[in-house]
Chains A and B, each alone.
Chain A
Amino acid sequence: KAGVTQTPRYLIKTRGQQVTLSCSPISGHRSVSWYQQTPGQGLQFLFEYFSETQRNKGNFPGRFSGRQFSNSRSEMNVSTLELGDSALYLCASSPTSGGASTGELFFGEGSRLTVL
């Protein structure tokens, strides 16, 4: 069974540009959540999607957005990039059971974004 797939794995952007990251969850998983990992702040929750709807959002500015498609694949977008957006962006998928999640998250390898 394939794991969570994130693309691209590495990317370099300059300040002011925008970036789109993609996440394909484990087959059958309908919940996708996104996290940002930096050396200073550690792992922080960005947002969560389930059935194409954003269910929760972390404390990040509106420049950070996301969406989920009908096949459960998800994308996140960061507009007007700042130097502080340099980070490892991790996507996680979660199984559902009887309509309720078991709570276990499975993470991808991440997309490492460098903003120059």
Chain B
Amino acid sequence: KQEVTQIPAALSVPEGENLVLNCSFTDSAIYNLQWFRQDPGKGLTSLLLIQSSQREQTSGRLNASLDKSSGRSTLYIAASQPGDSATYLCAVPSGSARQLTFGSGTQLTVLP
């Protein structure tokens, strides 16, 4: 059974810092990994999707890497801003592509 772990559970940083969020998964036979952002009381916003054949994906100040062999992914946020404050979730497919197993998330607070 696939298990996804995210460390740390919470993180508070001053504005402008570069930071790294970690995601690990137990079954390396995945064909993609997706990072999401969730604001309080809201739905999930897709940030990045990394296919298993890729090592990393970039979107603006976000960069996500994937190492299937070690069962790890990292989300790098450059020059953090207060607007980045949210919960960040990673997810991998279990069974079908649409049946995702989620980590419990990292709650990020960026202080002005």
Contacts and interface: CB of A to CB of B under 8 A. Distances in A.
Interface of A: 4, 6, 31, 33, 35, 42-43, 45, 48, 50, 55-56, 58, 88, 90, 92, 94, 101-110, 112
B26 interface: no
B33 to A, nearest CB: 9
Interface of B: 31-32, 34, 36, 41-46, 49, 51, 89, 91, 93-105
Nearest to A55: B96
Contacts of B43: 4, 6, 90, 107-110
Contact of A112 (B31, B32, B41, B89): B41
B49 A48 contact: no
A107 B44 CA distance: 6
21 contacts: A31-B98, A42-B104, A43-B100, A43-B102, A45-B100, A48-B96, A55-B96, A90-B43, A90-B44, A92-B44, A103-B34, A103-B51, A103-B93, A103-B98, A104-B32, A104-B49, A105-B34, A105-B100, A106-B46, A109-B42, A110-B43
Given A42-B103, A90-B43, A103-B49, 13 more contacts: A4-B43, A43-B91, A45-B101, A56-B96, A56-B98, A101-B98, A102-B49, A103-B31, A103-B32, A103-B98, A105-B100, A107-B44, A109-B42
A50 B96 CA distance: 11
A48 B41 contact: no
Contact of B97 (A101, A107, A112): A101
Contacts of A58: 99
